[in-house]
Every structure is written in structure tokens, then in C-alpha cells.
Chains A and B, each alone.
Chain A
């Protein structure tokens, strides 16, 4: 299933409703459901912030495959932001040295099983997978 969302942080309620429906109809376990919501929120909000003037809505596609879940976010952008590049967040720094920014993407990459980025034409495509057996 696939759905488009307005490029706005306030779309998150609608995004979560969409995810909850998918989680319920596919009877995903609690752990997979939490990571799905976390990763989609972080990637969606990253697209909203880094491509604020983007012309299109952001598409979120969800596919169940044997023992895994495939999630794809698609955005039109001219200056691609490759989320798979090294993180700006350093979680090993002490409290005084830590700075905001980058933590959401760091955690997303820590929590999903695989994440890929590609820029094709004017589209940035982020695909991540979750092992549903966990």
C-alpha cells in the first residue's frame, strides 16, 4: 500500500494513522511496530526539514514480504540528502559536548535492518527493511 502526505510536520497524525492501520491489518508485533513508526517519523521529518520548499507530497509505501517489511519513502528534490552517509551525531560524547542534530537518523540506522538511498531523476528514494520475526 502507498499513500502521499503533505510536506508538513503536522501531517504526522495522518502518517501515524496510516501506519497503525497497516500494523493492525498485518498483525505486526510490538517491537516491529515501534521501529516502523520511529523510522518513518524520523525519515519523513527529515524530508520535511531538508526539502522545505519541495514541490510535491511525500510518498510512503509499505510492503509485507515473507519475514520482512519493506518501507519506501519517495520525495522530489534537486539537492539530494543521502541519509546513509556517516552520522553527524556522536552518541559517545559527554553531556557537555553533545549537540542537537543527527540523532534521529543515527537511531533510525541503528534500529532498522537495512537502509538504502538512491536519487533517480528528481526523486530521492529511501528504502528500509525490518525483520518481522524479531
Chain B
């Protein structure tokens, strides 16, 4: 089960399991972002490379427009994945 919800103009909340079968639904929402946005990972239990790829593509697109994603409240396992992928230098993680 995975959900992605725009809770306000600048916050997106992820929950559940962002695996390869859910990457398209994440992309559909992230593609609508045009301004700097906080992505709340508090309720996200799991992410795979498919989810990383969607976030990376969004970050690249926003950076070209002078905006960016900020990622918050990751669990330790997801934070490890970001660190191993060296995504901790691509995203601001709080």
C-alpha cells in the first residue's frame, strides 16, 4: 500500500511502500510540482530504486528552475539507502 498526498501547496506526504509498481503514481503527483516543496517521509516505510529515480528526476527538473525538494523525517533504513546512493548530497535531508 502506497499513498502520496499533497497536504498543502508546499508539502507532500508519502506513506507505505514506494516500490517499482507504485513509481508511476508517485510520478503523477511529483510531476505537478513547480515550486520548492517539502516531502514528508514520516509514514513511508520503504523505498526502492524506482522511487529514488522518481524523486531524482523531480529534483533535477526543479533545480533547473531554481527550486528544490527538501526531504524530512526519513526512517533510518531509508536514510541508509539515500546515503549509499549518495543522494544525501543531491537532496537537502532534514
Binding site for B on A (CB under 8 A): 9-10, 12-13, 16, 30-31, 34, 37-38, 41-42, 45, 91-92, 95, 98, 100, 103-104, 106-107, 110-111
CB-CB under 8 A from B19, the residues of chain A are 12, 16, 41
A10 to B86, CA, bound (A): 29
Q: Mostly helix, strand, loop or mixed at chain B's interface?
A: helix
Q: How many residues of B contact A (CB 8 A)?
A: 21
Quick check: B21 and A42 within 8 Å, CB to CB? no
Known contacts A91-B86, A107-B84, A13 near B53 by CB under 8 Å? no
Binding site for A on B (CB under 8 A): 17, 19-21, 46, 48-50, 52-53, 56-57, 59-60, 63, 77, 81, 84-86, 90
CB-CB under 8 A from A42, the residues of chain B are 48-49
B63 contacts which of A41, A95, A100 (Cβ < 8 Å)?
A95
Considering only CB atoms, which chain A residue lies closest to B91 in the complex? Answer: A95
